[in-house]
Amino acid sequence: MANTRRIGVLTGGGDCPGLNAVIRAVTKTAMHQYKLEVFGIEDGFLGLIQNRLRPLAWNDVSNILTQGGTILGTSNQANPERFAIERGGKTEWVNVTDRVVDHVRANELDAIVCIGGDGTMTGAANLIANGINCIGVPKTIDNDLEGCERTFGFDTAVHTAAECFDKIHTTAMSHHRVMVVEVMGRNAGWLALHTGVASGADIILIPEIPYDLEVIAEVLRRRSKSGKRFSIMCVSEGAKPKGGDVVVQRRVETSPDPIRLGGIANKLVADIEEATKLDARATVLGHIQRGGSPTPADRVLATQFGHHALEILMRGAQGQLVVQQNGRLAEVPIQSVAGKQRKVALDDPLVLTARAVGTCFGDS
């Protein structure tokens, strides 16, 4: 505790509701309880690479609890171990970790609070290996960070998506259509699973359970014949058919995670119309799931995470990630979760509940 006088805080990866709540909790706890100096690092690891930091005052983090996004900015294309530069008209990748370490030491930062998902924690693990103390705070609307049962941003994303489904439900009824709605989640199905159950979706497709098109077609035909003139499908962007692969929208080669998923809803609409002759439409919710003011639950969780990060730091923690396990705050080593994803188990209680009420997962 006596050796920590100045800390940095950054937000990395994709934005999500609740980031500002964490920044507020970290900064106010540091100032009010421990009399620390706090520096905001702009645009995630890019700010460390380019030495763009600014001191945060009390008023800088006041009145931001309910704001979406992040006042510090973020980037998901700034991996210090593999940073893209232009040289001779070509893109090259270089390791700039030494530059980052120099900037951390030049600014006399004793520790960095890294707020982000699996990509950010991978970057933090690299800094830890190079002598920089990092404390992680788990953020992702995908809820897929290993070792943490709930990340902030997830509740808001489910709430936002469910509201959209409610609106799509009415137009599906009016036009007697199969509505295929694509949500985010990458390779984990948490967002689709929770949104689908909350919305009463007839079919939920997640990456962990490859689907059989004929099974889906039979469910839709059976519903149509029984008088159900519309159907709702909630589909994760990472869903894929048995023996097939995910639909890739594009590649961003300068990003640490170059594959951008997207387009499965449009593929399914074409396949469903051909197989069933039913009228189908696709809706891709996209980045609307990342935006807006965080729900009260996410505000509370983000504030608790930010405060706990400072508490364990001042108790002498090194390289730890704040997590929620069994409904309680805890911590695990960042290096134990870096580069890993927490996926939906086939026997997850919510999967079993959905099956019990007749929801189809495309496999049976």
Where in the sequence numbering do the catalytic residues fall? 142
Strand bridging mode 6-11 / 37-41: parallel
Q: What is the 3-state secondary structure (H, E, C) of 136-159?
A: EEEECCCCCECCCCCCECHHHHHH
- Contact status, residue 168 vs residue 161, Cβ threshold 8 Å: no
- Contact status, residue 243 vs residue 213, Cβ threshold 8 Å: no
Q: DSSP characters for 276-290?
A: H---EEEEE-GGGGG
Strands (E), 244-351: 248-251, 259-261, 280-284, 320-325, 328-333
- Contact status, residue 21 vs residue 295, Cβ threshold 8 Å: no
In sign, the C-alpha dihedral spanning 253, 254, 259, 264 is negative
- Close Cβ partners of 360 (under 8 Å, ≥ 6 residues apart): 202, 203, 204, 215, 216, 219
Number of alpha carbons in the 13 Å side-chain half-sphere of residue 198:
18
Number of alpha carbons in the 13 Å side-chain half-sphere of residue 74:
22
Cα(363)–Cα(359) distance, integer angstroms: 11
- In the DSSP assignment, the letter for residue 45 is H
**% helix / strand / coil in the chain, to the nearest 5?**
40, 25, 40
